[in-house]
Structure 1
C-alpha cells in the first residue's frame, strides 16, 4: 500500500507540473527530484547533475540527432516530395491513400534506426508537411504517425530487444527473428485502421489522382530511386558489418546531402535550415531524455519498480492473469520511465515469475516490446506524444486523443500474439531447424 501511495503521489506531481506549462524534460527532472528528496536518502542535487551529464554525453545517442538531421535534409529538399510522387500511384487505390505512407515509411525506417523517437521524428519531418499540403486531416495524419513510429522498437534491429536479450539470457538473433512477423502484423493493423477510417470518412480524404496505367506507375516509381538508394546505403552498411548503427546514421546524413546536391535542391540556405531545425528538435528530445534518465535513477533509489514487480509476483496469478496485470504495470510505469529502463529495473524480479507461470522467455520478450510500445503513446503521457508535440506545437491532450485508436490496436496485437503464439515463435523455429 505504501508503494501504491508513492506511485499516486508521483503521478499527481507529474500531472500537476505538466499542467502548469513547464517543459516536459524539466517536468520529469522535477518529479525525480521530488521523489529522491522525499523517499530516498541520496542527495538529489549531485545525482541530477551526474545523471543528466551522463545521459547527454552518451555516444550511443549520437545516432538520434544524425537521423533527425537526415530527415530534415529530406524534408527541406526535393527528396521527400519525390518519395511521395513515387509512392502515390501505388497507394491511390487504397482507402486512405497517402496516409499509408506514414506506416510504410515508419516500417522501413524502423529497420534502420531501432529507435521509436528517431523513427517518429524522421518520418514525420518528411510526411506531415506533404500530407498537410495535399489536404489530409491533421488528426489522422499525426495519430497514424505516433502509432507507426513505435514500430522502431519492434522491427529489428531493436535496441530494447538487445537489452532484454542480455537481461533475460535469450538469444538476440532469435529475438530479432521473433520480432519480424509481429512487426508486419502491427503495420497491417495500422493500415487496416486507416482503410476503415477512410471508408467511414470519405469526405475528409482528398480526391484520387487521375488513373494511371501500370507502365505510367512504373515510370513514376523512378522518383523513389534516391530514397531507396539512401535506405539501402544505411541498411547495407549495418548488415554488411561496415558500420555500427551510429555510424550508419552518419552515412544517412552524408547520403541525403549528396543526393539532394545531385538533384540541385541543396543550397546554403537549405543546408543551414536543416542543421538548425535538427538542432532544435534534438535539443527538445535530449532534454526529455535527460529528465527521463534522472527519473530512472530516482525510481531505482526509491525501489518502486522492484517493489511493485515483487508484489505482482506474490499474487500467484495464472499465466493469462499475470500478463494482464503486467500490461497495466508496464503502461503505468511508462509514465515515468523509458522502455530500456523499464526492462533493466524490473526484469530481474519479473522473469522468474514469468518462467514459473510457464511462459516462454522468447515470446515474453516480444510481449514486453509491444507493451513498451503501448507506453510510448499512452494517453496522456508517452514519449512519442512528447516528440510530436515538439514537432507540431499541438496540445499534448489533442495528440493523445488522436493517437488513442492506435493504442487500442496495440492492445489487440498483444491479444493476438497471446491467442496465436506462433506469430512470435514460428520464424525463430524455422531458423533453428
Structure 2
C-alpha cells in the first residue's frame, strides 16, 4: 500500500470514530491495532508491535511531571487555597473596569491546570462566573468572550499540562518549553486586558460595583494570608526549572509536596480531601496516558509505513518557502481545531509536523508555542470551534450569534500575538536562552 493511501485510510477511519464520539484513546488504539495487522501481515507480529508500543509509551520520565502537576493543582483546589487567591485578586482589582472578566481570565489560567482541558475549563467558568457577570449587568458578549478566551492562558503559561504532553509526544525539551511560555502568556494576558478595558469603557461591564477601601496594612495582611502560598509555590517550581536546580519532573514533585504541606498546615486538607485529590489525579492522568498509548503506536506505524517520510518529501517539494509552510500548518490546525479537541490534534499531528519542523530548520520550542496558541484560536473560531458549543451547552440562553460575536476581539488579540511571535522568535526563545542547565 502506498504511503498516502495508508495515511488517508488511517486518518479517515480515525475521524469517523471520533465523529461517532468514540473516546480518542480507544479510537487510536483500535485503528492502530487494525493498521498493524495490515502492515505486519499477521496476528502475532502485529500484537507484538502493539504490546511493545503500549509498554514503552508511558514509561518515559518526562511524563511523570503530568500527574505531579495535576496533583499539585488538585491539592490547591481541594484545600481552597486557589479559590482564596482568586478572591484576593478580585478584591485587589477593586474598581478596575471589567473586574470579573479579568478574574475570569486569571482564573482560567489557574484552574486550567486542574483539568488539562480548555473545554473543561470553559464549562467550569461558564457555570460559575457567567451568571455572576450577567447578574451585575455585564454585556453577554464580554462575559462569554472572557471565559472562552481564558483557556488559552492555561495552555501557554507554565506549568501547562498540555505543553508537557506535547513536549513528551513531540520530543521537545520540557523545561525550555515551559519557560518559553512565560512571555507569550504575558503578551496574551496584556492583549486580553486591553480587550476588557476597551469593552468596559463602552459600558460593557454594567454599573460600577462599590468596593470598600482597605488600608495598606489590611491589604498586605490579606494578600500574604491568601495569595502568598500559591504564588511562592509557582515561583519555586519555575525557579528550579529556570536555574537548572531540578528537572521539570523534580520541580513538579517539589510543587506537589509544597502544596500538600500548605494544605495540611492550614488545616484544610484531611483524609477526605486526600482521597478526592488522588481520585481526581488518577482519573485525569489515566485519561491522558491512555491517549498517549494510542499515539505512540500511531507514530510508530506512520514511520514504519513510510507515511512520515513521504509526507515530508511531498510537502518540502511543493512548498519551498518557510513562511508559506508555516501558514499552511497554521491553517491545517485551525481547521482541525474546529472539529476535535486539542489533545487529539496534538497526538495526530506531532508525528507529521515535527519532521517538517526539522526539514525547515525551525526551532522546535518556538514552533510548539505557535502551535499551542493556534490550537486555542481554533477552539474558539466560528462557526465550529468546540469551546463555542461547550459554552452553548452551559449557557443555552445565549444564541450562537452572540457567542460568535463574543470571541472575535479575543481571536484578533491572539492573532496579533501569534504574528509577533512568528516574526520575532526571540520573544519565545529569550528566556529559555537564559536558562542554566
TM-score normalised by the chain length of structure 1: 0.71
Structure-2 change in CA distance of 1:149 and 1:406 (3 Å): farther
Other-structure match for 2:137: none
Measure the CA separation in 1 of the matches of 2:407 and 2:282.
Answer: 26
Q: Is this contact kept in 1: 2:62–2:249, CA < 8 A? A: yes
Mapped to 2, the partners of 1:200 and 1:371 lie a distance apart of 33
Structure-2 separation of matches of 1:377 and 1:292: 23
Which residue in 2 is equivalent to 1:148?
A: 153
Shift of 1:405: 7.3
The answer on 1:47 being equivalent to 2:53 is no
Cα offset, 1:269, TM superposition: 1.7
**Is the CA contact 1:116–1:153 (under 8 Å) kept in the aligned structure 2?**
no
How far apart are the structure 1 equivalents of 2:106 and 2:298?
34
Taking structure 1 as reference, are residues 49 and 14 closer, same or farther at Cα in structure 2, changes over 3 Å only?
same
* C-alpha separation in 2, matches of 1:22 and 1:268: 35
2:306 aligned partner: 303
The structural deviation recorded for 1:128 is: 7.8
- Structure 2: where are the runs of 5+ without partners? 135-139
The 2-side partners of 1:424 and 1:234 are apart by 20
Q: Secondary structure at the match of 1:22?
A: coil
- Shift in alpha-carbon separation, 1:122–1:227, aligned structure 2, 3 A: farther
Secondary structure of the structure 1 residue equivalent to 2:269:
coil
Q: CA deviation at 1:379?
A: 4.4
- Shift in CA distance, 242/142, structure 1 to aligned 2, threshold 3 Å: same
- Aligned-residue CA RMSD (Å): 5.0
1:75–1:126 contact (8 Å) kept in structure 2? no
Instruction: Please point out which of 415, 418, 424 is paired with 1:414.
Output: 418
Residue 228 of structure 1, CA deviation: 1.8
Deviation for aligned residue 1:98: 3.8
Residue in structure 1 matched with residue 13 of structure 2 by the alignment: 13
| Alignment partner of 2:331 out of 314, 328, 351 | 328
Query: SS where residue 75 of structure 1 aligns?
Result: helix
1:182 aligned onto 2:187: no
Call closer, same or farther: CA 1:84–1:106 in 2, change over 3 Å: closer
Partner of 1:358: none
Give the CA deviation at 1:77: 1.7
2-structure distance, mates of 1:131, 1:9: 43
- Identify the range of structure 1 (222-231 vs 303-312) with the bigger mean alpha-carbon deviation: 303-312
1:327-350, CA deviations, whole angstroms, 9 ceiling, x for partnerless residues? Answer: 235667887976588566554455
Aligned twin of 2:254: 251
SS of the residue corresponding to residue 318 of structure 2 reads coil
1:163-202 matched pairs, under 5 angstroms: 180-195=182-197, 202=204
CA–CA separation in structure 1 for the residues paired with 2:127 and 2:82:
10
- State the alpha-carbon separation in 2 of the partners of residues 165 and 21 from structure 1: 25
TM-score by length of 2: 0.70
Could you say what secondary structure the match of 1:150 adopts?
Answer: helix
CA distance in structure 2 between the partners assigned to 1:80 and 1:58 by the alignment: 30
What CA distance in whole angstroms lies between the structure 2 residues aligned with 1:44 and 1:394?
47
Q: Evaluate the alpha carbon distance shift between residue 272 and residue 343 of structure 1 in structure 2; reply closer, same or farther with a 3 A threshold.
A: closer
